[in-house]
Structure formats: C-alpha cells, structure tokens
Amino acid sequence: MAFETELRIATLAVQRASRITTALSPSTRSSASLLKDASSPITTAADFAAQASLIAALHAAFPHDTFIAEESSQQLRSAPALIEHIWTLLTTTRISDPAAASLALPKDREDMLRIIDMGASRGGPGRTWIMDPIDGTEAFVRGGQYAVCLALVEDGVQRLAVLGCPNMALDQGPISETTLPREGESGWLLSAVQGEGAWMQRLTWDVLEPRVPIPLRKEVGDIAGLKTVDAFASPTMDTGAHERVNELLGIKARATNLWSLQMKYVAVAVGGHDVMVRIPTYAGHRTAVWDHAGGQLLVEETGYRVTDVFGKCIDFSRGRRCSANLGNVVAPVEVHARVLEAVKNVHGFGEGVDGEGYPFERA
C-alpha cells in the first residue's frame, strides 16, 4: 500500500490526540478555554494539546515535512494557567499500546509552544500535513459531534486522511449531534489513502482493532429520497439557498443539523447522509483548508464527488485557505451534476473578479 508508514503513524497520532480531547471532561471544557478574537469561536486546552501532540509525533517521524494547523500559541503566552493545563493534558494522557507510547512528545512547556507554532506554514510544493485538532470546538464543548482531523497533502493533492470521531455512534440511525456512543462504547477512527479506498475501526485507547473497508455507496434510487446535512447557525453560509436547492431537487426531508464541517463529510461517508451543499453568503468567503482536508478525501474514496459551487475541484495548493474556490457541493458521483446544476440555479454568483482579486463576484 502507498503511504503505509505514514498511515500507521498518522493513525497512532490521531488516536492519541483523540484520547487527549476526551481527557478534558465536559464540565471543564468551557472554563479551560479562551476566545481567539471577537469574531472567532473558543479554543480549549484540548485544541492546543491535541495540536502539539499531532505535530510532535509527525515531526519526529517526518522531519522534512511542513504543517498547516489552526491554532497559534500567541495568546497562550499571556495565559500561564492555561499553558499548565495543556502541559498536564499532554503529559498525563496515555494510550495502552507500546506503539502509541513510542510517539514523540514536546520536551518541556516552551518546546510545546514552539511545536504548536510549527503549524503556521503556508504549505506550497512538497509534503504538508494539514490538521484541525478539534473540528467543531463549539459542539465539543456542548458534548456533541467533533473530529480530530489529519491529512497529508503532497504538492496540493490529498494523499492520506485520518479522522478520529470520539462521539460518533453508527448504530442509532443517521449521524446527528445526539447519536452518541452508549456508556462503555467507543467512537470511530476513519482513514483513507488516495486511490486505495477508505477504512474504519473502533477508536479505543488500547491496541486498535484491524481496519475494515468502508464500502462504496450504493447506487442512488430516487434523488428526492437523499438526506442532506447543514449547519443552521452558520453565519457565513446561506442556509435559505440550501433549502431552495433541495426544493429544486425534490428533496423533502429537512437537513440534519451538524456544526462540525468535517463531521458533515463523515456523515456523508458513513453516517447515513448523502449530500452537503455550502453556498456562502458573500463572494469573498474563502474557507480554511483544515476544515476540508481529510474529510474530502474520505468521501471521494467512498463514491462521492466534491467541487465548489462552479464545479471546480478544490485546490489545496494555495496556502491556508482554499482561495481558488467558493463553497462546496458534495454528492454521489452519479448525481453530482444534477445537484451542481441546482446549486448554480440558486447561488447568484458570477465568475468575474471581485475587489480583492478573487475570481468571483456577485451576479
């Protein structure tokens, strides 16, 4: 298998980072956090600890690779109590597997901050690991669905993905914020390699069970019966436009509300859903690469196509944001063109150049 060593280490790294996120109890997730700025969501101690854990493990194994990650240590340096909390999470959280125990960790608190800031790369040619230590932090704080996300991108192309989903249950119907593992049960770890398929395994804190293949999705019957996922509270997505797309397609069921963007990809790949449409409320919106890298590869390897609202493939070679793309259309390969046509009839964007030089403008 291509990227076999990378997949093995990435799987162990995501397992350990996922364990770190669960070590921060729900009752302390809000208090062990900070607000990045007036417009940004909160970041918890677990976000920082998981990012430090991931980068430390990967940098030791692949010292010439670069990293794009969401968090920065800038505000942490004036929050010594939070630094101590993060350090405690890193140094006391354990996986009962010798292979996971061999993964590198920061040497001390200053090294931890340095490693967190290794995620400030802008990518470019060569190999870059893109990560979101907790995608869906606000849902994580509430005890809902979130994902620990990691993807290897080579020259802008996704090669490998590993996602840890500690709160995901697959035996309670389609994934939602409330389909959580029962007491004593675990979540799931998902992985994919470009051109070789996708797999899943139970996310335990011991030696992981063998991976099992995720089957390609079945043929679509009646398009009106497809299930969609959305984030109703998103301030940057036009959920009214999403409803109009569903009306054009004849989809009558209301979308399932999931805050985490990466968990929407997971919900499509394995969680009983079929379509995700994201039409921004303004032409200048450019989404962060860590919100998509990994999850996108997972759905592509399970029988879906992903484009922007104009039908262009998502370009991960432009730095920390998908600056060449606007919005997303995710649907089974055989009906993607029909969904995209409905999106184009609704979104109202023309393909010009906006005031910031982006290749889109309001029609």
**Sequence ranges of the binding site for Mg(2+):** 70, 132, 134-135, 291
Residue 137 annotated among the catalytic residues of the structure: yes
- SS3 of residue 82 by DSSP: helix
Task: Using CB atoms within 10 Å of the CB of residue 31, give its burial: 0 to 12 exposed, 13 to 18 middle, 19+ buried.
Answer: exposed
Closest alpha carbon to 152 in 43, 11, 285, 27: 11
Q: Beta strand pairing status for 127-135 and 256-257? A: unpaired
- CA neighbor of 163 nearest in space, from 133, 142, 183: 133
Extract the annotated binding site: 70, 132, 134-135, 291
State the DSSP string of 52-77: HHHHHHHHHH-TT-EEEES--STTGG
117 contact partners, CB below 8 Å, separation of at least 6? 72, 73
Q: Which of 90, 97, 50 is nearest to 204 (CA)?
A: 97
Distance CA 146, CA 152 (A): 20
Which residue among 22, 43, 47, 66 is the active-site one?
47
CA distance 348 to 361: 9
User: Can you name the residues that pair with 95 across neighbouring β-strands?
Assistant: none
The catalytically annotated residue of 43, 137, 239, 302 is 137
Nearest CA among 37, 110, 35 for reference residue 80: 110
DSSP 215-268: PPPPPP--GGG--EEE-TT-SSB-HHHHHHHHHHHT--SPPEE---HHHHHHHH
Residue 33's DSSP bridge partners are 44
The residues annotated as belonging to the active site are 47, 137
